[in-house]
A = this chain, B = another copy of it.
C-alpha cells in the first residue's frame, strides 16, 4: 500500500536551476515534473494537475507572471499553490505577482533548504484552508461547513465517513481516486481497515443519493461523475 507522492511542476529555462530544484524536492519526497518555458508550463500544468507549481519569472514565450495569470483562470488550477522565483529585490515583480494570484515568492539565488520548507508550509496551508469550501454540481451541493448534502434541494443525511468520502471524490470532478488514496485521505495513514470497507461506504452513499454519481473504475478506484 503506497502513498501517492505530491506532484510539483517546475518551470524555468535554466537547466541548472531545474536540476537543483528537482534534486532537492525529489529528495524530500515529491514527484517532479519539468517545463522549459511558459507555454510548456501551462501545457504540463493542465495535463498533470500538480499539487504545487514553481515558476521562474524570466522565461521564453511567457513569463511566470503571465503563466500564473492564465492558470488562475483554469477551473482545475485555480487553487493550486504557485511559487514564483524572482531576482532579489525585484519589487515590481512582487507586486505583479501578487496581483496575478501567486501564493509565495522565493528570491534567487535559492537556498534548497528554504525552498523545501516553503513548499511544505504552502502545501500545509492550502490543505488546511481548502477543507471548508462548498462543492456544487447540477443540483448537488456538498457543504462541509454545514456538513450537509443536498440534491435538488432535498436534504441527504450522510454519516461522517460517508460525507468525507463523497467530499473527497467530488473535490476533483472526474478524477479517479485509487483505493489506497481514499484510505489514506479518509481513514488516515495509520488506520488499517479491510478491503470491503470502502465498497460498503460507497454503497451507502449511492443508496442515499438516489442518483448515480460515483462510478467504479474496476481495478483502479472510484470517481465522482454525473
Cβ contact within 8 Å between B98 and A95: no
Task: Report how far A42 CA is from B217 CA in the complex, Å.
Answer: 41
A146 — which chain B residues lie within 8 A by C-beta?
Answer: 174-176, 223
Given contacts A96-B98, A174-B146, contact A74 B129 (CB under 8 A): yes
Task: Report how far A36 CA is from B154 CA in the complex, Å.
Answer: 51
Choose one: B75, B104, B160, B174; the contact of A129 (CB below 8 Å): B75
Cβ contact within 8 Å between B95 and A96: yes
Q: Is the interface of A mostly helix, strand, loop or mixed?
A: mixed
Task: Report how far A105 CA is from B212 CA in the complex, Å.
Answer: 51
Cβ contact within 8 Å between B128 and A74: yes
Whether, in the assembled complex, A111 has its beta carbon less than 8 Å from a beta carbon of chain B, the answer is no
Choose one: B73, B74, B217; the contact of A147 (CB below 8 Å): B217
Task: Report how far A69 CA is from B220 CA in the complex, Å.
Answer: 38
Task: Report how far A206 CA is from B49 CA in the complex, Å.
Answer: 40
Which B residue sits closest to A148, measured CB to CB? B174
Whether, in the assembled complex, A3 has its beta carbon less than 8 Å from a beta carbon of chain B, the answer is no
Task: Report how far A63 CA is from B89 CA in the complex, Å.
Answer: 12
Whether, in the assembled complex, A125 has its beta carbon less than 8 Å from a beta carbon of chain B, the answer is yes
A145 — which chain B residues lie within 8 A by C-beta?
Answer: 174-176
Chain B nearest Cβ from A166, distance in angstroms: 14
Whether, in the assembled complex, A92 has its beta carbon less than 8 Å from a beta carbon of chain B, the answer is yes
A75 — which chain B residues lie within 8 A by C-beta?
Answer: 128-129, 132
Chain B nearest Cβ from A101, distance in angstroms: 10
Given contacts A75-B129, A145-B175, A147-B220, contact A92 B95 (CB under 8 A): yes
Task: Report how far A63 CA is from B94 CA in the complex, Å.
Answer: 10
Show the binding face of A for B, using Cβ within 8 Å.
39, 42, 62-63, 65-66, 69-70, 73-75, 92, 94-96, 98, 103-105, 121, 125, 128-129, 132, 145-148, 159-160, 174-176, 217-220, 223
Given pairs A95-B96, A96-B98, A148-B174, 18 additional interface contacts (CB within 8 A): A39-B121, A63-B94, A66-B98, A66-B104, A70-B125, A73-B125, A74-B128, A74-B129, A75-B128, A75-B129, A146-B174, A146-B176, A146-B223, A147-B217, A147-B220, A159-B219, A160-B217, A160-B219
